Amino acid sequence: MLHLRVISPPELSDEALKAIDECLGVVNLVVLPGAARSPRGDLIQFDVAREAANEVLERLQGLGLHGEGSIAAEQVDLSISEAAERAQEEAPGDGDDAVVWAQFAQRVDDDSRTTWAFFAFLVIATQLAAIGVIVNSPILIVGAMVLGPEFGAIAAICFGLLRADRGLIGRALRTLAVGFAVAIAVTFACALVARWVGWIGTGSLTGHEEIEFIVKPDRWSFIVALLAGAAGVLSVTAGKSSALVGVFISVTTVPAAGYFAVAAALTRWEDMAGSVAQLGVNVAGMIISGTLVLLVQRAYWSRFGMRLPAAPKK
């Protein structure tokens, strides 16, 4: 279930309540006239089955409440109510399969932005991957995979492709490109310092059979990227965030960036080329499969009249 909090101008409250009453899966409706102060208006609160949330949100946005009032939603972790159970049974589909498009759109929009936190996590992850490459430590490389924040921007590209939103695609691509460029540059500088002080040398990347997969992309690399992209988008849209850890461990994006930085500092051109190829294969595979999963989800939920929201006009 999702809990929705709506602040409605008094002149729109009757229309909002009518729209809510006409939707399936709504329960625990509470109306507090004049309770809201910023923005001013009536406070309307209710729970809705996750699989019915798209229709409710679409109707409320159609009334303009997101402009003149406010619409907020949060996950209900525990609901002990037979009325809520009946509401879920009335709603079409299953809650675990449902995609709340407005929620997903906001998440990928946030994840596509260039922030200091994004740069910090990606730089730290790339540095950990570089150290893992140097000391031949798969454990460090796995840790770097988990820490990397790049999947959010990849999911944003998939969603942008789904609804032909060039602005979102461009912003997410820019975030990925700038983020990896900064992470590689910082790691390259650190690797150069390590080389100058004698901590690493031209032989530091030899004899590391356990991690050679990073610079040797093959058909399996692409298949793994496809599977990881599909699982990643499913975990985000279905709210199963715990599954994302498995996705992060599956793809070799951050390790490839870290390997590239170290190889560049040691002027190992062949390893640099392999790292770039691995990075490209993984990103491309995730974008392809992620977009296909969203296409399937859109087709499935369109059977119940639940449409994908249009891209915002620029």
pLDDT digit string, tens, across residues 217-234: 888 889 999 998 898 888
The pLDDT score that the predictor gives to residue 55 is 87
- Tell which of 98, 122, 153 closes a domain: 98
**pLDDT tens column, 103-153:** 888 889 998 898 999 999 999 999 999 999 998 888 888 888 888 889 999
Residue 279: its pLDDT value, please?
Answer: 92
Q: What percent of the chain has pLDDT over 70?
A: 91
User: In 3D, which of 34, 248, 284 has the Cα closest to residue 150?
Assistant: 248
Note whether 91 and 217 are same-domain residues.
no
For the cut 70, the answer to whether the pLDDT of residue 42 exceeds it is yes
Q: In the predicted model, is pLDDT for residue 251 greater than 80?
A: no
84 plus 132 within the same structural domain: no
- What is the pLDDT at residue 238? 76
Residue 312 has pLDDT above 60, yes or no: no
Its pTM stands at 0.85
Of 47, 78, 98, the residue that ends a domain is 98
Mean pLDDT, residues 189-196 taken together? 94
Residue in 3, 51, 90 with CA at minimum distance from that of residue 305: 51
Per-residue pLDDT, averaged over 35-47, amounts to 93
Residue 307 lies in a domain: no
- Residue 16 belongs to a domain with what CATH number? 3.30.70.260
Q: Which domain holds residue 127?
A: 103-302
Number of domains in the chain: 2
